[in-house]
Structure 1
Amino acid sequence: MNDHPTAPDTDNGALLSVRGVDVGYRTGRRTRVTAVHDVSFDLHPGQSMALVGESGCGKTTLGLGLLRLLPRTGVVPKGEILFRRKDGTRVDVRTLEKEKLRRFRWNEAAMVFQGAMNAFNPVLKIEEHFLDTFRAHERAGRRRPRKEIIERSAELLEMVRLDPVRVLGSFPHELSGGMRQRSLIALALALEPQLLILDEPTTALDILTQRSIVERLAELREELRFSMVFITHDLGLAAELADRVGTMYAGRLIETGTTRDIFYRSRHPYTSALINSVPPVVGDLHVPESLPGGPPSLNALPPGCSFAPRCAHALDSCTATRPVLEVLKHRDAGLSHTAACFRSTDAALHAEGVSR
């Protein structure tokens, strides 16, 4: 395999450029289910992007695929994952060989997994997790002494407002859910990555702990200047943490835009339905609108638009032809508003309240 830096024809300064990526799972010797279809987006230095959608829409699979952390049956058979490294060169993560991929992870990009208890080895103290991470992922030729690693680990834990003496000497089960989650964030930041991918980092935590973690994440991003891909079904967190939002449905990215575009001028009926299903925190009260039905099976996607069977505004063409992402509004630095809907520019439809 070739793992030399890749320089595409167009270089727009993005930290991460995802181009036409598919992610699938092998279910038999010759059978593969494609869970993510033809996803493309750019993430610039310092930006935060939220991926939202119902469970099973492909958000976590995409996040794992970006760092090639998929289970053994997972594959990324198509596309490019172009990443600008700290030295300024660009590399396609799909082509990195095993050893260089291991060095790439945590040095350049790291992931905070859903469910901190499952992410930690239950028979190792938190101190050992930090030691293992530094030794496994540091650049070749550099091996820090144990004392230096522990000192750095203590600094990281203090950054997420934890007592390092207590936490480093504890097993994961001896910490609360919020403490485990913050420890995992500190671990992800150990080697100062440029990109942090967070998969539902506040799931199963109480509202006060959620608030504490979200506020600290925002502060850390401002302080350390890392970029972030934030995977969530919580639209409130997406609105608070993200500069950009991407809506996923049935494995496809169907709308992207700035946070303001998505929450105030959404142009895909599915995005609007997600927003309208959440009670407002401010403004006039209204009864949340439920979204009937459920996402289609990945083994039997309907023809045309996958959302058409659930869409109250579907046209005949929606069931025959699949719409592609089209630019509705273009801004500098890759901040275009795009939507994959035949009615995305239908002023009458949006005036009726499909988008709030």
Structure 2
Amino acid sequence: MTDHSTTPEDTGALLSVSGVDIGYRTGRRTETTIVRDVSLDLYPGQSLALVGESGCGKTTLGLGLLRLLPRTGRISAGRILFRRKDGRRVDVRTLGKEELRRFRWNEAAMVFQGAMNAFNPVLRIEDHFTDTFRAHESGRGRRPRARILERSAELLEMLHLDPARVLRAHPHELSGGMRQRALIALALALEPQLLILDEPTTALDVLTQRAIVERLAELRERLGFSMVFITHDLGLAAELSDRVATMYAGRLIETGTTRDIFHRPRHPYTSALINSVPSVSGGRTLPESLPGGPPSLAALPPGCSFAPRCAHALDRCSRTRPEPELLQERDRGMSHAAACLRSTDTALFAEGATRD
């Protein structure tokens, strides 16, 4: 295991991702790169929303951070540095099988999109908690089953669930919202520093979504964990995040504070996403659909990947791939940056003002 605690890149971040590429094998000798050259920092207690259309690489990046990719996937480049609870920084890519098992749930955990698929349908919820504690807790500190169930009940109560009912239930005996909250409780079992949530409210009704969002906000305030929230729902992103990162065609094309992204976007794609959402203020402005669709990740166009759909593209946009440009520098990863040749053209983005 490599210790990076003294490297010059140590800025105090909990998670430092640098130049990460992730691909999937699509044939015996063919690999398609899905995530390209992603770099970001996440600091203790921060919440980052990762937004973009379906197929842009959000989930692949989330899985890659915990090395949960399927067999056909691999991280082909870059580093994923994580500051553990004891203060040491490790590259998640270098962890051995046993180290990786201890890292998951103890240091970082993931809440998947479909709770029904995440749970084993033949096990009761209490068995899922027991198995999680016994599989991921360190050998010297393993708790007896009675203590595990006591801790499980505490976590379920934090999610406003009745432990007496939920622990003895099989997953199919719970409603969709209850399953999702039970899955969040399970992810928090060993008090991880980082929680990655992949579309945790998809397919749930509006009231259930609201309840889960409120619980997540309460828990983050109470337990102090950092969060990566993967979503295409910009309303949830605005409500739950300190920072937002826009992803398109496998790349991060704009990052900034939530206020920067929603009030001062500097990439046409970010503006288009915001303008495609109906206003909740009752205004007469109609949402604007974004024409076309994302490019194939196996055959990206030259230059800027968004240029074929961009109403503001210049001739050179089709030839030059823009690198992220720092627009406003702040501490603790809160700087505003955008990968657009026209990112400093404030007049261009004035019309892409915020929808309330």
Q: TM-score, normalised by structure 1?
A: 0.98
Equivalent in the alignment of 2:130: 131
Match of 1:354 among 345, 352, 355: 352
Match of 1:163 in 2: 162
Aligned to 1:342: 341
In the alignment, the residues of structure 2 paired with residue 292 and residue 333 of structure 1 have an alpha-carbon distance, to the nearest angstrom, of: 36
- Mapped to 1, the partners of 2:353 and 2:324 lie a distance apart of 18
Q: Cα distance, 1:283 vs. partner? A: 5.7
Query: How far did residue 11 of structure 1 move?
Result: 1.6
% identity of equivalent residues: 78
* Alpha-carbon offset, residue 77 of structure 1: 1.1
CA–CA distance in 2 between the matches of 1:236 and 1:12?
31
4+ residue runs of structure 1 moved beyond 3 angstroms? 2-7
Letter in 2 for 1:270: Y
| Separation of aligned partners in 1, 2:188 and 2:29 | 39
- For 1:341, the aligned partner's letter is C
Change (3 A) 1:347 1:4: closer
Q: Distance in 2 between matches of 1:311 and 1:52?
A: 18
Gaps of 5+ in 2: none
> Separation in 2 of the partners of 1:29 and 1:151?
49
The 8 Å contact of residues 6 and 92 in structure 1, kept in 2 or not, is answered as no
Contact 1:6/1:82 (<8 A) preserved: no
In the alignment, residue 151 of structure 1 is paired with which amino acid?
Answer: E
1:309 to 1:78, Cα distance in 2 relative to 1, 3 A: same
Shift of 1:284: 2.5
| 2:139 alignment partner, SS class | coil
Aligned counterparts of 1:99 and 1:28: Cα–Cα separation in 2: 30
Alignment RMSD (CA, Å): 1.0
- Which residue of the partner structure matches residue 73 of structure 1? 72
Distance 1:256 1:348 in 2: 20
Cα distance in 1 for partners of 2:2, 2:11 equals 21
| SS state at 1:141 partner | helix
Structure 1 unaligned residues grouped into runs of 5+: none
Aligned match of 1:144: 143
Alignment of 1:62-141 (within 5 A): 62-141=61-140
Q: Please give the TM-score of this superposition, normalised by the length of structure 2.
A: 0.98
Question: 1-side partners of 2:5 and 2:115: how far apart?
Answer: 34
Distance, in Å, in 2 between the alignment partners of 1:64 and 1:159 is 26
For residue 295 of structure 1, what is the aligned residue in structure 2? 294
For residues 291-337 of structure 1, the C-alpha deviation after alignment (integer angstroms, 9 at most, x for no partner) is 00000001110000000000000011110010011110011222100
Could you tell me which residue of structure 1 aligns to residue 331 of structure 2?
Answer: 332
Shift of 1:28: 2.0
How do 1:1-356 residues align onto structure 2 when only pairs under 5 Å count? 2-282=1-281, 284-351=283-350, 353-356=351-354
Q: Distance in 1 between matches of 2:247 and 2:311?
A: 19
Say how many residue pairs are matched. Answer: 354
Code of the residue aligned with 1:354 in structure 2: it is: G
Residue 279 of structure 1 contacts residue 285 of structure 1 at CA under 8 Å; is this kept in 2? no
Q: Distance in 2 between matches of 1:141 and 1:3?
A: 24
The CA distance in 2 between the partners of 1:169 and 1:7, in whole Å, is 48
For residue 196 of structure 1, give the secondary structure of its aligned residue in structure 2: strand
Instruction: Give secondary structure in 1 for the equivalent of 2:20.
Output: strand
Give the CA deviation at 1:348.
Answer: 2.3
